[in-house]
Chains A and B, each alone.
Chain A
Amino acid sequence: MSVWEALAIQQTLSVNEIKNAYAKQLKNCRPDIDPEGFQVLHRAYKEALRIAHEQNELNSKSSRDSEQVYIDNSKLVDEPLKVTENQEVEKTIGSVAYTEKLNQEYQNYTRIITEVLKNTKTRNDISQWKFLFKSDCILDPQFNEELGLFVIENILAINNDFQNLTRHKKRYSLPDATVREETVRYLDTIFYWRGKVQNLRYYFGDDDTVKILNMLDEYDQNIDEISAIKSVKGGEVKEKASQRVDEARAFSEARDALGELKNITYFTHGIGILVLLFSINTLMEKQVPSEIAFSSTFFILFIIQLVGVTIKNRYILYTMWPTSCLLLFFFPIGTFLGVRMGLCLSRGLKYFRYAR
Chain B
Amino acid sequence: MAIIGIDLGTTNSTCCAWKGNELLKIPNALNSFLTPSVVGIDDHKTIIVGQTAKERLLTHPDKTVAVFKRLMGSDHKVKIASNSYSAPELSSIIIRSLIEDAETHLDEKVTEAVISVPAYFNENQRAATKLAGELAGVRVRRLINEPTAAAMAYGLNRRQEGTFLILDMGGGTFDVSILEYFSGVMEVHASSGDNFLGGEDFVQAMIDDALVKLNLRKEELTSKENHLLYLQMESLKNRIDQVDRETLQIQVGDEFVDFKVSQQWFSTTITPLLLRVRTPIQMALNDAGMHAQQIDEIILAGGATRLRQFRSMVAKIFGRLPFCDIDPDTVVGIGAGIQAGLLEKNRALDDIVLTDVCPYTLGIEVVDENGKPGQFLPIIERNSIVPVSIERRVYTTQNDQKFLMIKVYQGENRLVEKNVFLGFVNVPVPKSKAGIESVRVRYSYDMNGLLVVDVTVESTGKIFNKVIENAPGMLSDAEKQSSLKKLEKLKFHPRDDQKNAQLIAKGDRLYTSSLGEVRNQIAMAISNFERVLEKQNKVQIERAQKEFSDYLEELDKEGHF
Contacts and interface: CB of A to CB of B under 8 A. Distances in A.
B290 interface: no
Given A26-B185, A225-B74, A134 B65 contact: no
Given A140-B316, A195-B283, A237-B78, A133 B271 contact: yes
A83 interface: yes
A232 interface: yes
Interface in A125-169: 132-134, 136, 138-141, 144
Contacts of A227: 70, 196
A225 B279 CA distance: 20
A224 B321 CA distance: 31
Contacts of A241: 75
B184 A236 contact: no
B320 A83 contact: yes
Interface stretch (A27-35, A269-277, A297-305, A344-352): A27-35
A195 B280 CA distance: 10
Interface stretch (B381-389, B477-485, B513-521, B530-538): B381-389
A27 B349 CA distance: 13
A219 B418 CA distance: 7
B317 A26 contact: no
Contacts of B313: 139
Interface residues of A, number: 54
A238 interface: yes
A229 B65 CA distance: 12
A180 interface: no
B76 A231 contact: no
B147 to A, nearest CB: 18
20 contacts: A19-B183, A35-B389, A80-B319, A89-B320, A133-B268, A133-B272, A141-B278, A192-B278, A231-B201, A232-B68, A232-B70, A234-B62, A234-B65, A235-B64, A235-B68, A237-B71, A237-B76, A238-B77, A241-B75, A242-B76
Interface of B: 38, 40, 57, 60-68, 70-71, 74-80, 84, 172, 182-185, 195-196, 200-201, 204, 227, 230, 267-269, 271-272, 274-276, 278-279, 282-283, 309, 312-313, 315-317, 319-321, 353-355, 385-389, 413, 418, 420, 446-447
B388 A236 contact: no
B279 A232 contact: no
Given A22-B185, A31-B353, A224-B196, A235 B278 contact: no
B346 to A, nearest CB: 15
Contact of B275 (A38, A190, A221, A237): A190
A139 B446 CA distance: 38
B65 A141 contact: no
Given A93-B315, A195-B279, A189 B272 contact: yes
A174 interface: no
Given A144-B275, A195-B283, A233-B227, 5 more contacts: A23-B185, A35-B446, A133-B272, A136-B267, A236-B62
Interface in A82-127: 83, 85-86, 89, 93
Contacts of B354: 31
Interface of A: 19-20, 22-24, 26-27, 30-32, 35, 38-39, 42, 80, 83, 85-86, 89, 93, 132-134, 136, 138-141, 144, 189-190, 192, 194-195, 219, 221, 224-225, 227-242
A310 to B, nearest CB: 29
A354 B40 CA distance: 78
A26 B61 contact: no
A26 B79 CA distance: 49
Nearest to A89: B315
A189 B275 contact: yes
Contact of B71 (A26, A30, A38, A232): A232
Given A141-B316, A229-B76, A232-B68, A39 B387 contact: yes
Given A231-B204, A233-B230, A195 B71 contact: no
B55 to A, nearest CB: 12
A224 B195 contact: yes
Task: Give the interface SS of chain A, mostly helix, strand, loop or mixed.
Answer: helix
Given A139-B271, A224-B196, A231-B200, A236 B78 contact: yes
A31 B386 contact: yes
A347 to B, nearest CB: 56
B62 A31 contact: no
A192 B276 CA distance: 8
A30 B200 CA distance: 38
B74 A228 contact: yes
B66 A232 contact: yes
A31 B80 contact: no
B316 A93 contact: yes
B182 A19 contact: yes
Given A42-B355, A139-B312, A235 B65 contact: yes
Nearest to A46: B385
Contact of B84 (A80, A228, A238): A238
Contacts of A238: 76-79, 84
A56 B483 CA distance: 60
Contacts of A141: 278, 316-317
Nearest to A22: B185
Nearest to A84: B320
Nearest to B182: A19
Nearest to A88: B321
A140 B77 CA distance: 42
A108 to B, nearest CB: 15
A234 B61 contact: yes
A93 B80 contact: no
B62 A235 contact: yes
A39 B230 CA distance: 49
B70 A231 contact: yes
Contacts of B353: 23, 26-27, 30-31
Contact of B447 (A24, A32, A133, A240): A32
B389 A192 contact: no
B196 A228 contact: yes
